[in-house]
């Protein structure tokens, strides 16, 4: 799947001279959390997001520092901060270094960029113009449309066994010490784990095999440094009171 | 303002065993980006957000790492597999959750959002979930606050006084080379500033007094050295002004 297939288009944009009160209303009305800022020629010059509007004097959330800290700071920087907390035009408080993406990029590229730069939306550029925007909610929408619907037709135990074996072999984190049995669609996981994080992953893997109705977890976690065996703390019966 | 002034109430929640697809549909249908996860006793045990749903096998965005790295971090890979393939909310949710008290100030909430890189903060009264403050809630509060902004002061003398008051509260100071002319309810900024940041700050300050359309910017930016005494070089940078300081012309 390419970006162009799931981006939101056309995009609501604003100009640098748009007042931020108007921008805020636009974001609330359209249920978007960021607006690309374009100049008179239609070129992208910045982006105004919710994050740019939450450190504001109107909310009483502007940064406060003790006087002695202010004394050491450069007054140029204080002036800059004043603009961000008091400015009234999009151009004054927008983020001008915009992270963008091309329409042919993959979803993985988009997710990696969002992860690395801690951002929630990427304007999509083609020939220097904003042709769309891809946000986290677009990705969630794609996820919803691609998720399998009703559980697939039941499979025979032999088919489940074969599929489970090949799925386990395809993963590089599966401990060799884990075995399984399949009876009547129920997968019984057994063996020894050296890290408890593998437990959830193995359960999820078995649940995802078509035809599996239930997963029983009988795996034992052995702490590798001490050799102490820890039975699943949730499944283990609690010791009788007073013993 | 405090958390309980701006929070959304009647929060949509899910349980740890809710199928993930159901949580996803709820998020899309209600146009919300995060759902608190509460257990059978109503205790908050996690939160599932858009950010938890980005690395999924359905959309082919699972994390990939080279083979030689993989050998060193098998348990982490198992965890990534659970997050990419899990079908229950508890497989992908974020836990523990950053929460706030109903009496928390907005500053405290914004600090927590920026420091912990979260977009919403559930509000707990004791152990009970009573609301949630998201960035959109703060934006809504901001929109209300700007709509209710007081009208600009009437008369040039009142404008001048307000301007002086606001300037004296700032940790940065008005460069002596700037002259501010107030006439007929409009503010005209003239003179020289050592740095673009002062120009922007002065404009913003003036716009906060008289509104966006009543401020004119005739400031020029001059390197700081040129502004130092004896200011030999200054004359050629400056347009004609009425001299430094704050003037009211009639």
d(CA A182, CA B212): 72
DSSP sequence for A130-173: EEEEEEHHHHHHHHHHHS--SPPPP--HHHHHHHHHHHHHH-SS
Cross-chain CB nearest to A33 (options B53, B113, B136):
B136
First to last CA, chain B: 41
User: B120-125 and B128-134 as β-strands: parallel, antiparallel, unpaired?
Assistant: antiparallel
The residue among B2, B88, B95, B197 with the most chain A CBs within 10 A of its CB, best to mutate, is: B197
Alpha-carbon gap: A47 to the closest alpha carbon of chain B (Å)? 16
B105 band by pLDDT with thresholds 50, 70 and 90: very high
For residue B230, whether the previous peptide bond is cis, meaning omega lies within 30 degrees of 0, is yes
CB contact under 8 A, B81 and A204: yes
**Chain A (148-167) residues lying within 8 Å, Cβ to Cβ, of chain B:** none
pLDDT at A91: 92
Tokens 């009425």 correspond to B242
Contact residues on chain A for B78, CB-CB shorter than 8 A: 173, 195, 197-198, 200-202
Sequence-distant (≥ 6) Cβ neighbours of residue A219 within 8 angstroms? A178, A189, A190, A191, A192, A193, A199, A202, A232
Describe the strand order of the beta sheet including A129-135 as a list of residue ranges: A101-102, A121-126, A129-135
Give the sheet arrangement for strand B178-183, strand by strand. Answer: B215-221, B186-193, B178-183, B245-248
Using a pLDDT cut of 70, give the percent of chain B over it: 84
Best residue of B68, B201, B210 to probe chain A, by most A CBs closer than 10 Å: B201
Residue A142, chain B, CB below 8 Å: the answer is yes
CB B224 within 8 Å of CB B234: no
Q: Chain A, 171-190: which have a CB under 8 Å from a chain B CB? A: 171-173
Which residues in chain B (13-32) have CB-CB distances under 8 A to chain A? Answer: 21, 24-25, 27-28, 31
Closest Cα in chain A, distance from residue B106 (Å): 6
Question: What one-character DSSP code corresponds to residue B57?
Answer: T
**Rounded distance between C-alpha atoms, residue A228 and residue B225, angstroms:** 72
Phi, psi torsion values for A59, nearest 5 degrees: -95, -5
Q: Measure the CA–CA gap between A131 and A112, rounded to whole angstroms.
A: 21
For residue B46 the two structure tokens come to: 């996690």
Judge: A53–B139 Cβ closer than 8 Å, yes or no.
yes
Considering only residues 197 to 226 of chain A, which have any Cβ-Cβ distance to chain B shorter than 8 Å? 197-198, 200-202, 204-205, 207-208
What mean pLDDT, rounded, does chain B reach? 85
Three-state DSSP class for residue B151: coil
Give B85's contacts in chain A (Cβ within 8 Å).
204-205, 208
Contact B77 A172 (CB under 8 A): yes
Q: What are the tokens at A161?
A: 């066994």
CB contact under 8 A, B74 and A55: no
Can you give the pLDDT at residue A242? 44
Nearest-angstrom CA–CA distance, A91 and A15:
8
Residue B67, pLDDT > 80, answer: no
Q: Rounded distance, CA A34 to CA A120, Å?
A: 9
Going residue by residue through chain A, which has 243 residues, state the pLDDT in tens, using 9 for 90 and above: 889 989 999 999 999 999 999 999 999 999 899 999 999 998 999 999 999 998 888 888 887 665 555 555 566 778 888 888 888 899 999 999 999 999 999 999 999 999 899 899 999 999 889 999 999 999 999 998 887 765 566 789 999 999 999 999 988 888 888 899 999 999 999 988 888 888 889 999 999 898 898 999 988 888 777 777 776 555 444 444 444
Q: Nearest-CA distance from A226 to chain B in Å?
A: 18
Could you report the per-residue pLDDT of B149-191, keeping only the tens digit for each? 667 778 888 888 988 888 888 888 788 888 888 988 899 999 8
A116 and B CB contact within 8 Å = no
Give tens-digit pLDDT for B117-158: 899 999 999 989 999 999 999 999 998 888 776 677 788 888
Q: Give the global pTM.
A: 0.76
pLDDT, greater one: A89 or B229: A89
Q: Given B31, B170, B194, which is nearest A31 (Cβ)?
A: B31
Cβ separation A139–B50 shorter than 8 A: yes
Neighbours of B147 (CB within 10 A): 11
């Amino acid at each position: 799947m390419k970006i162009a297939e799931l981006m939101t288009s056309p995009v609501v944009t604003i100009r640098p001279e748009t007042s931020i009160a108007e921008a805020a209303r636009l974001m609330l009305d359209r249920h978007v959390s960021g607006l690309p800022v374009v100049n008179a020629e239609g070129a992208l010059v910045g982006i105004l997001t919710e994050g740019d509007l939450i450190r504001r004097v109107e909310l009483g959330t502007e940064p406060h520092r003790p006087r002695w800290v202010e004394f050491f700071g450069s007054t140029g920087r204080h002036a800059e901060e004043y603009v961000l907390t008091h400015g009234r035009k999009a151009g004054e408080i927008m983020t001008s270094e915009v992270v963008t993406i091309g329409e042919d990029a993959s979803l993985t590229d988009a997710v990696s960029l969002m992860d690395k730069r801690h951002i929630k939306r990427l304007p999509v550029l083609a020939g220097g113009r904003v042709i769309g925007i891809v946000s986290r909610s677009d990705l969630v929408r794609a996820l919803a449309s691609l998720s399998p619907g009703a559980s697939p037709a039941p499979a025979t135990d032999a088919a489940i066994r074969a599929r489970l074996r090949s799925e386990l072999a395809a993963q590089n984190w599966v401990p060799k010490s884990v075995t399984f049995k399949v009876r009547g669609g129920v997968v019984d996981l057994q063996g020894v784990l050296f890290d408890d994080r593998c437990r959830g992953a193995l359960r999820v893997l078995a649940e995802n095999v078509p035809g599996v109705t239930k997963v029983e977890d009988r795996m034992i976690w052995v702490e590798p440094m001490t050799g102490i065996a820890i039975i699943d703390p949730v499944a283990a019966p609690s010791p009788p009171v007073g013993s | 303002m405090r958390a309980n002034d701006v929070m959304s109430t009647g929060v949509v929640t899910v349980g740890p065993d809710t199928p993930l697809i159901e949580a996803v549909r709820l998020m899309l249908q209600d146009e919300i980006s995060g759902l608190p996860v509460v257990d059978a006793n109503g205790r908050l045990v996690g939160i599932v957000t858009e950010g938890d749903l980005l690395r999924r096998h359905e959309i082919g965005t699972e994390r990939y790492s080279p083979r030689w790295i993989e050998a060193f971090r098998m348990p982490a890979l198992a965890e990534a597999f659970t997050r990419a393939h899990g079908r229950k909310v508890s497989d992908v949710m974020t836990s523990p959750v950053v929460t706030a008290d109903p009496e928390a100030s907005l500053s405290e909430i914004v600090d927590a959002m920026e420091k912990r890189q979260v977009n919403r903060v559930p509000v707990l009264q004791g152990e009970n979930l009573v609301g949630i403050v998201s960035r959109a809630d703060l934006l809504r509060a901001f929109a209300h606050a700007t709509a209710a902004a007081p009208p600009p002061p009437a008369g040039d003398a009142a404008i001048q006084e307000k301007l002086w008051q606001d300037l004296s509260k700032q940790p940065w100071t008005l460069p002596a080379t700037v002259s501010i002319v107030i006439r007929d309810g409009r503010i005209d900024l003239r003179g020289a500033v050592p740095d673009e940041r002062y120009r922007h700050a002065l404009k913003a300050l003036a716009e906060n007094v008289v509104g966006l359309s009543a401020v004119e910017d005739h400031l020029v930016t001059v390197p700081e050295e040129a502004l130092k005494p004896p200011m030999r070089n200054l004359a050629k940078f400056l347009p004609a002004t009425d001299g430094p300081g704050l003037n009211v012309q009639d």
